Amino acid sequence: MVAERTRELTEAQEKLVRHEKLAVLGQLAGGVGHELRNPLGVINAAIYYLKTVQPDANEKIKQYHAMIEREVHNADKIIADLLDFARGVTAECKPVAIPELVQDVLERFPAPAAVHVSVEFPSDLPLVFADPRQVEQVLGNLVINACQAMKDGGKLTVDGGQLTVDGISWVRIAVKDTGTGITPENLKKLFEPLFTTKAKGIGLGLVVSKKLIEANGGRIEVESEAGKGSTFTLVLPVKEDKR
Ligand SMILES: Nc1ncnc2c1ncn2[C@@H]1O[C@H](COP(=O)(O)OP(=O)(O)O)[C@@H](O)[C@H]1O
Ligand SMILES: [Mg+2]
């Protein structure tokens, strides 16, 4: 009886601490994210200027330009997650063509050379009704995770199709990788804030992705096998449905 009560109290206590931590984290994330936007914008403008005035710079310098650009881009991505984690999201939905959006995502977040990428959608895929910026951010998160899970190379497949459930139409977008996969134990924690298995991870990507996709009337599903790979699937409402 005492043991039982003690366990309950400990659990309640842990829940409270977690809640408090998350509230503080939210505030901090929002503040830091906001403050970092400006300096990053300045660095971005500066590198753009340097590239313009030094079109004939030597290879080494060009490599450094590209490196700065890439890392600014990565930092920007983390900030977007911090801000979305901190604030409530509202989706500004409009008709969106998923195949085009996926191409944009793969241009913005290119897979490393060792990863073979293939994209496959039926030509008659209906438009979805969603916020294109938010869906792009979610797909970006999934593509980045997939590539990070395939450090030694592999195959990234983005495909999808139409899905009808109880007379309601949805579009399914699957991001598949042949990476490390996820253990059943970790699978349970994927959508917990700050859950990460990466040395430099922050563990907000999937939390934010879930929040954004749900704000768009959709959902996110995961299938994974340790050692084989993972598939993250987005399901979004088709444009015709007035929901
Ligand atoms: N495609 C994937 N393959 C294997 N593990 C993944 C994949 N996507 C997510 N994970 C696991 O989920 C964790 C949380 O992901 P995420 O929320 O994006 O945070 P982060 O990328 O900062 O670690 C990752 O650290 C990793 O362990
Ligand atoms: Mg991530």
Query: Comparing 22 with 204, which gets the higher pLDDT?
Result: 204
**Pairing outcome for strands 94-96 and 128-130:** antiparallel
Give the predicted TM-score (pTM) of the model.
0.82
Q: Is there a contact between 162 and 170 (Cβ–Cβ < 8 Å)? A: yes
Q: Which residues surround ligand 2, an ion (CB under 5 A)?
A: 145, 205
How confident is residue 143, by pLDDT bands cut at 50, 70 and 90? very high
> 196 CA to middle of ligand 1, Å?
6
Q: What is the pLDDT of residue 241?
A: 47
Ligand nearest to the CA of 196: 1
Residue whose CA is closest, atom 13 of ligand 1?
A: 196
Residue whose CA is closest, atom 19 of ligand 1?
A: 203
Give mean pLDDT, residues 151-162: 96
pLDDT exceeds cutoff 90 at 162: yes
Q: What is the rounded average pLDDT for all residues in the chain?
A: 92
Ligand nearest to the CA of 144: 2
Report the atom number in ligand 1 closest to the C-alpha of 179: 3
Q: How confident is the model over 66-110, as pLDDT tens digits?
A: 999 988 988 888 888 888 888 888 899 999 999 999 999 999 999
CA dihedral in degrees (28, 212, 100, 41; nearest 10)? Answer: -10
Q: Is there a contact between 222 and 232 (Cβ–Cβ < 8 Å)? A: yes
Element (H, E) at 97: none
Q: Which of helix, strand or coil describes residue 229?
A: strand
